[in-house]
Amino acid sequence: MEEKPFPAWSRSMEHCLKEHNVKLGKGLSSFEAEERREMYGWNELKKEKGKPLWRLILQQFDDMLIKILLVAAFISFVLAYLEGNESGHTELEVYVEPLVIFSILMINAVVGIWQETNAEKALEALKSMQCEYAKVQRDGRYIPDLPARELVPGDIVELRVGDKVPADMRIATLTTSSFRVEQSSLTGESMPVIKGTSPVLLDDCELQAKDCMLFAGTTVVNGSCICIVTSIGMNTEIGKVQAQISEASQDEQDTPLTKKLDEFGEMLTTAIGIVCLVVWAMNYRNFITWDSVNPSMWNFYFSFEKCTYYFKIAVTLAVAAIPEGLPAVITTCLALGTRKMAQKHAIVRKLPSVETLGCTTVICSDKTGTLTTNQMSVNEFFTVGENLSTIRVFHVDGTTYNPKDGGISGWCNRNMDESLQALAGICAICNDAGIYRDGYLFRATGLPTEAALKVLVEKMGLPGAKVRNRIRDTEFAFDFSINHNTVRLDCCEWWTKRSKRLAALEFDRVRKSMSVIVHRPTGSNHLLVKGAFESVFERSSHVQLSDGSVALLDESSKWLIMSNVQAMSSKGLRCLGFAFKDDLGEFSDYNSETHPAHKRLLDPANYPEIESNLIFVGVVGLRDPPRDEVHKAIEDCRCAGIKVMVITGDNKSTAEAICKEIALFSDKTSLRGKSFTGKEFMTLPADQQMEILSKPGGVVFSRAEPRHKQDIVRLLKDMGEIVAMTGDGVNDAPALKLADVGIAMGITGTEVAKQAADMILADDNFSTIVSAVAEGRAIYSNMKSFIRWASRNSSGF
């Protein structure tokens, strides 16, 4: 059913919610969603109808050789008919030849149809596995991975950077300061556009002007927001375009490999056709005999019967020689291979990638989540003591997201001093993660790093005995309770209630930090920052001491802090730095989007400057254990002669420690010439870079930015390597496209990365890449054997 045309862009958000009979924070109930689905259908574009059987059958005969055979069979039939009349043979004996040819043609057609439908079925299965998901609010709670096809008008959806917009939507609220969308595919605008919540006061306007609307198929470039679905399926703007140009879905049918094989098949057909013609012509003596008594050029006898006999022989030779089934067999081989790979959690999006995977010589992998489990837990943290020469290091137990699993050594309801309070506050407020229970397991919603920080805040408890007692008596039960499986984090809530979040400067991989501007009841605005230790520390000028005073960071205190971080990271801990800023200049009275300073928040290029002159607070070291199976996968790569390069955004010594843990390097190996930061490597001369990349064994690149990934792929490709590269973020997309096999993460990867990739890892696991390469190699060698067999057959006729 068609949705009612409702100009959501020109109405207030409240009006839209009322129109769709839904509340923010609650969403639709499952029952309402079901009712609406019955009314509006699924959120999907109309599928192109498959080819009808009669077309499939006809298609099997649309081939030069088959046509020649058909003519041969027809001639043979006519001859048999004439011969039968003259010789008096039994009917069946006479028609054996045309019958055999017809039977071969029929078997060929049946096999062709079977192969084609089989390959198509395998492709359809893959497409459904690549289904997109959305984070949707239903029955008062967020479902993180509802298949996008199940969305209905009125659904409340949360979108984050890198998401593909799953339906047409009206923005309800922004949860970051800026929100930009790449919608060039729909509107042709070359640059990403800024979106907001204010209605456009025109009932009829162009798509470009609808600033509070998001359109299906476009992608979020930065920011996050909460929206209401207004149109789904064919009623979306992209659906309207599809209705006008319905041939769009034909795209993927002819893969480059299939095309190449078709060309090869045609070339072979022509070559063999010529050879057969020559063979037939060479036999001319058998059907043309010259008069020996009166020899002259025109004095000969022609036997039509023998002529057609030799014609039939030539054509039959051709049938045996031409590997007509080659393209179909190869496509089926690849399509079935992708099915096998999908069972092993590797979803191949483009068929020829199976073949490329088999030839891979270098795998460039991320660290976090691919080589490691991405199950973060805080292991250690430190802040500065009462003077610049003292550091207090605390050890934390527990490796799960259960806040009651373990505690802090020697803590025991400690009265937190000012710097510990500052650390707990930043961990709780500068954070968008949550924790929920899945049976006995505690799981993270949002980023695992942030969820681990929330668990730390719970383990730290509240600032002092006075607060704890007051809280115990009044606001909370001072325990986490379970509501809709969401674990209530009381200490985190206590911190967040004390500060009103005004704006969030979201995390990006270049500046490697994120921050929030908050308003405290004391009446001033503060900036709370967390990020990669180096990024936060280099932008800090002061440090907070345990009594709350602030001291200038001098050389010796810098050295002391850095050596403590070095000790932490060499144990493989991921080190995050924490800082804040009180004097916010033009943001000191910032209160909403209408404030004059807001326009600076719209451009993320301004964020490093806003996050400068910070007061450093402390460091948290998180443990992210390597996956068990990676060790063996690395060993397999070594045996198969595949080089493994780790390209991570993490710190150098953390990355080196993890690489040693997974046995990419042995404990005794010196990492000289094997470990570089992205910047260090890029400043080396090109010949030295090539020398490093061509050495056998692994290399690790730390603190790498997305553009470094592209440079490394380019270099490797120039050296003739076949590169498989992993990625998950929006700005990994160019490197994924550039690599011979771009591999996106299925769980943590953004839609943009998935769209750019050739293969998606359903489990984000490095060992899955290795098994996919092994499978690819097996398929590749099978295909080679088949082609060799086919060409031997065709050349040996």
Nearest-angstrom CA–CA distance, 148 and 6: 22
Nearest-angstrom CA–CA distance, 682 and 669: 23
Nearest-angstrom CA–CA distance, 204 and 187: 16
> Beta strand pairing status for 513-519 and 500-508?
antiparallel
- Cα→Cα distances 791→111, 272, 356, Å: 20, 12, 22
CB atoms within 10 A of CB 629: 14
CB 351 within 8 A of CB 255: yes
Q: Which of 474, 398, 476, 484 is nearest to 434 (CA)?
A: 484
Task: Compare residues 642 and 655 and give the one whose CB is closer to ligand ATP.
Answer: 655
The DSSP code sequence of 632-671 is HHHHHHHHHT-EEEEE-SS-HHHHHHHHHHTTSS-TTS--
Read off the DSSP letter of residue 163.
P
Q: How far is the CB of 565 from ligand ATP (least distance, A)?
A: 11
Task: Compare residues 700 and 716 and give the one whose CB is closer to ligand ATP.
Answer: 700
Nearest-angstrom CA–CA distance, 648 and 372: 12
Q: How far is the CB of 14 from ligand ATP (least distance, A)?
A: 32
Decide: helix, strand or coil at residue 720: coil
- Sign, CA torsion 275/277/281/287: positive
Nearest-angstrom CA–CA distance, 597 and 603: 11
CB 101 within 8 A of CB 72: yes
Q: How far is the CB of 669 from ligand ATP (least distance, A)?
A: 21
CB 207 within 8 A of CB 254: no
Cα angle 608-504-589, degrees, rounded to a multiple of 5: 85
Nearest-angstrom CA–CA distance, 689 and 138: 52
Q: Provide the CA 454 distance to its chain's centre, in angstroms.
A: 27
Q: Which of 773, 775, 746 is nearest to 644 (CA)?
A: 773
Q: Which of 326, 276, 142, 194 is nearest to 593 (CA)?
A: 194
Catalytic residue among 63, 155, 163, 366: 366
Nearest-angstrom CA–CA distance, 552 and 69: 90
Q: How far is the CB of 197 from ligand ATP (least distance, A)?
A: 24
Read off the DSSP letter of residue 150.
G
Per CB under 6 A, residues contacting ligand ATP are 366-368, 447, 449-450, 507, 509, 512-514, 530-532, 574, 576, 648-650
Q: Which of 222, 754, 745 is nearest to 506 (CA)?
A: 222
Task: Compare residues 369 and 461 and give the one whose CB is closer to ligand ATP.
Answer: 369
The DSSP code sequence of 242-279 is HHH-GGGGGGGGS-HHHHHHHHHHHHHHHHHHHHHHHH
Q: What is the dihedral of CA 56, 58, 59, 60, to 10 degrees?
A: 90
Task: Compare residues 529 and 545 and give the one whose CB is closer to ligand ATP.
Answer: 529
Nearest-angstrom CA–CA distance, 748 and 669: 32
Task: Compare residues 138 and 367 and give the one whose CB is closer to ligand ATP.
Answer: 367
> Beta strand pairing status for 614-623 and 699-702?
unpaired
The DSSP code sequence of 61-128 is T-SHHHHHHHHHHHHHHHHHHHHHHHH---HHHHHHHHHHHHHHHHHHHHHHHHHHHHHHHHHHHHHH
Q: What share of the chain is helix, strand, coil (3-state, %, to 5)?
A: 45, 20, 35
Nearest-angstrom CA–CA distance, 542 and 553: 5
Nearest-angstrom CA–CA distance, 175 and 528: 16
The DSSP code sequence of 743-783 is EEETTT--HHHHHH-SEEETT--HHHHHHHHHHHHHHHHHH
Q: Which amino acid is residue 221, in one-letter code?
A: V
Task: Compare residues 11 and 708 and give the one whose CB is closer to ligand ATP.
Answer: 708
Residue nearest to ligand ATP (CB): 649
- Name residue, tokens 């506050």: 425
For this structure, is 366 an active site residue?
A: yes
Q: Which residues are catalytic?
A: 366
